[in-house]
Structure 1
Amino acid sequence: MPEPADLKTLSRGPAGGGVPLDATVPRLSLLAHPGLAAFLSARLLSSFSAQVQAVAVGWQIYMLTHSARALAWVGLAQFLPMVCLILVAGHAADHFNRRAITVTCQIVEACGALVMAAGSFGHWLTPGVIYGMVVLFGTARVFEMPSQQTFLPALVPAAIFPRATALSSSLFQFAAIMGPSVGGLLYGGGAGFCYAVCGAGFGLAALSTYRMALTGAAPARRPMTMETLLGGLRFIRARPEMLGAISLDLFAVLLGGATALLPVYADDILHAGPVGLGLLRMAPGLGALAGGLILARRPLQRHAGRRMFAAVAVFGFATILFGVSTWLPLSVAALAVLGAADVLSMVVRGALVQLRTPDEMRGRVSAVNTLFIGSSNQLGEFESGMLASLVGPVEAVVLGGVGTVVVAVVWMRLFPALRRLDRLSDLRPG
């Protein structure tokens, strides 16, 4: 992918990684950095394969059971490993070889997908076996994510980290958009064929991760104690701007999670049917993809904190607009704006979490961040559904949007350090 943006000022990379760059270099492709292309391809392949596999698991478990409750058990099997193991995964990322952890997890995912392919072709894959494999995949993802999230600061200098984050987020959104669609098409060839493709994708991701050019000393191994497990939480709590960014995202997504109600809107409010539902589900991802590409080309230069608060407020107002809309094009546009605003917030939060954290703490801090994001998505859907059952879907979405705007205003006063955050490229560990 060609890199059009001009790098006028570059600084040295974070301690223990990155490539020192001279400020006089007029133009340099992001993908020219050693290992970055391998990182992006590994993340894209892993995320894409996970999305395709999720579609296959959902279809297959429903075909075997014809039970909506069985689908709920799949969600629980995915969520439990995160709740139980995320802090352990963070400890492992900080005290063992991160690349080895990530490659091992991706190989486990590849082997698991091939086992499910064999079970589907051999007609011995039962719901119980599928639940067990979903737990295995969930466990592998829990250990993979904190380690994988620490790679980017070791591959690019701090000056272009926000652009690299935006590009990485764009590719992730591409996987989120295309994965379910491709999964549905591949499932037409049978569940076994679908799982076999996923196995190949995870295997290629492992190969790309192995090929990354990482620098820095090997982490010092320490025994797992409550002190090391809770180190990430304590680190974030002691840094108001980081705590503010993570908690702001938590409450914004928790209150503004309208995606759980998209089937209700498509059927009862917009009268758009399944095609309309597909457009609504695709819109946030398309907006996020566009926003990420724009930020990769034209990164945030100044006033990052204020722009993050503005993005969260826009997220809230877009949620309100979607809530009151009865016209499908307007609803799709509101969800696209919502997705774009979410990416800007994600870039600022990602820079804070990765660049303000010393390398020896990045795994545990990334684990806490992952837990907050996962919890907000899951609980946000639960909150939206429960509130809609009490007051109605439109009222639930509008109240959630209003709540998001209120949280943005309150957080500006509670976390002045985050509001004053200026250049993301100036962030340093500490």
Structure 2
Amino acid sequence: MARTDPYAALRIKEFNIFLLMRLLLVFGWSMQFIVIEWEVYSLTKDPLSLGIIGLMEIIPAFTMALFAGHIVDRKEKRNLLALCIAAFSLISLGLFFLTWPQIVGNWSTKHILWGIYALVFFGGFLRAFFGPTIFSLIALIVPKKIYPNAATWSTSTWKTAAVLGALFGGFSIHWMGVDKTLGLVFILVALAFILTFKIKKKPILNTKIEESVKDSLKAGVKFVFNNKAILGALTLDMIAVLFGGTVALLSVFAQDVLHVGSKGFGILNASISLGSILTMFLTTYIPISKNTGMKLLVSIFIFGLCIIAFGLSNIFWLSVAALFLSGAADGVSMVIRQTILQLKTPDDMRGRVSSVNSMFVGSSNELGAFESGLAAKLVGPVTAVVFGGTMTLITVIAIGIKNPVLRNLDLRKDIEAHENEAD
């Protein structure tokens, strides 16, 4: 097999436009998440309110996921993505108005919260379409032989935007205030919308017009559950995210445990993604195709250990280091999972398979936020985080024993097959 070109996907102009568009979108999205978490906790001082944010997003995201995948496979991807971004810009604009003192100065806290929760609910509806659309669009922009490289750069760009958005979001609360920060988010999303039209329309690969919605959805679910490598990777990531997520409680730790304010809050959020970025860029030079399954298991086990260390720490910079290492381990696992999905999924089923992925992993972020908020309410934030990290370790051990297909997974032959197909 020829030497891997770490910049193969970046040599495609349209892919670079896609990366810039995703950078702006996720940067704004990440800022918005941070600001809303901060604002809601500042209004209520109740960690359960942070869990409700996750619950409001997971309900539409989970219930619409499979249908969204069916729609994505049947529709042109570029225009569908543009429509989703346009709708997301309306959410950002609405949140800006809900935090602008001139608009809501006389509103009660309850009414402001209801408005925020309603917009988050609408955002969850869009989330069901975003993931499958972006996942499918990547495969139509780059040739099959560089799918793994494109997946690495796309995931790295996403995490780069997440770290910068989290860092800037936390600091901008201090610099500009909540309302002006959300106004900036609207501008960034609008720029992403404009860039989308620099990408050409793509062909629709699923031409089974006679296939009913029911049969289409069943085919997507059946494919995932029959593929042990994909199912194992998704299950592992779902449980790890569900119990190992700390992001929803970072505002609690920043304000009530570590006492570091909005600046420290931004650093804590950014440290997770910074670790992910560094390791994901390294994977462009050090491919993860050899012993892929074992590397996935080890990375998530390390992630769980770091979460426990963060929960037990009451020293700010030790907490930052623990989150940085957890992000590094999480970055490796994300690249591996995206590579598995890209290589193992047929072109005409990418929307539906990505939707199942969003049900497993994407929705578990929001469900994990609710679980974290509820656990923090019942047993305190420290115990909640340590419990989550412990459950992550138990899950890795259990799946490693019960799923030998995933444990022994090696992607070198799959990559060679795609290279030969392209040639």
TM-score by length of 1: 0.80
After superposition, what is the alpha-carbon deviation per residue over 1:161-188, rounded to whole angstroms, capped at 9, x for unaligned? 3333222222222222222443466666
Q: How does 1:291-330 map to 2 (within 5 A)?
A: 291-330=279-318
Match among 200, 216, 226 for residue 187 of structure 2 = 200
Percentage identity across aligned positions? Answer: 33
**CA, structure 1 residues 243+66, in 2 after alignment: closer, same or farther (shift >3 Å)?**
closer
- Pick which of 261-270 and 83-92 moved more: 261-270
Matched, 1:236 2:224: yes
Q: What is aligned with 2:319? A: 331
Whichever residue aligns with residue 290 of structure 1, its letter is L
Match among 356, 362, 368 for residue 344 of structure 2 = 356
Measured after TM superposition, the shift of residue 389 of structure 1 is 5.6
Match among 393, 397, 401 for residue 405 of structure 1 = 393
Structure 1 CA distance, aligned partners of 2:50 and 2:410?
A: 45
Whichever residue aligns with residue 359 of structure 1, its letter is D
Structure 2 CA distance, aligned partners of 1:98 and 1:50?
A: 20
Contact 1:257 1:377 in 2 (8 A): yes
Whichever residue aligns with residue 212 of structure 1, its letter is I
Structure with the bigger RCO (C-alpha within 8 Å, sep 6+) is: 2
Unpaired runs of 5+ in structure 2?
419-423
Unpaired runs of 5+ in structure 1?
1-6, 11-25
Measured after TM superposition, the shift of residue 395 of structure 1 is 4.7
Contact 1:163 1:297 in 2 (8 A): no
Contact 1:9 1:159 in 2 (8 A): no
Matched, 1:150 2:140: no
Match among 287, 302, 305 for residue 275 of structure 2 = 287
Q: What is aligned with 1:18? A: none
Q: How does 1:133-144 map to 2 (within 5 A)?
A: 133-144=119-130
- Pick which of 173-182 and 38-47 moved more: 173-182
Whichever residue aligns with residue 78 of structure 1, its letter is E
Q: What is aligned with 2:164? A: 178
Contact 2:57 2:120 in 1 (8 A): yes
Q: Secondary structure at the match of 1:106?
A: helix
Q: What is aligned with 1:419? A: 407
Structure 1 CA distance, aligned partners of 2:304 and 2:225?
A: 26
Q: What is aligned with 2:18? A: 39
Q: How does 1:76-91 map to 2 (within 5 A)?
A: 76-91=55-70
After superposition, what is the alpha-carbon deviation per residue over 1:267-307, rounded to whole angstroms, capped at 9, x for unaligned? 66656565544433322111112111211233224111111
Q: Secondary structure at the match of 1:300?
A: coil
Contact 2:167 2:269 in 1 (8 A): no
Structure 2 CA distance, aligned partners of 1:392 and 1:57?
A: 22
Structure 2 CA distance, aligned partners of 1:112 and 1:224?
A: 32
Contact 1:323 1:398 in 2 (8 A): yes
**CA, structure 1 residues 111+412, in 2 after alignment: closer, same or farther (shift >3 Å)?**
closer
Q: Choose between structure 1 and 2: higher helix proportion.
A: 2
**CA, structure 1 residues 195+242, in 2 after alignment: closer, same or farther (shift >3 Å)?**
same
Whichever residue aligns with residue 106 of structure 1, its letter is I
Query: How large is the RMSD of aligned CA atoms in angstroms?
Result: 3.5
**CA, structure 1 residues 61+124, in 2 after alignment: closer, same or farther (shift >3 Å)?**
farther
Q: What is aligned with 2:76? A: 97
- Pick which of 180-189 and 26-35 moved more: 180-189
Match among 75, 85, 89 for residue 110 of structure 1 = 89
**CA, structure 1 residues 88+9, in 2 after alignment: closer, same or farther (shift >3 Å)?**
same
Q: How many residues align?
A: 407
Match among 242, 248, 257 for residue 245 of structure 2 = 257
**CA, structure 1 residues 224+54, in 2 after alignment: closer, same or farther (shift >3 Å)?**
farther
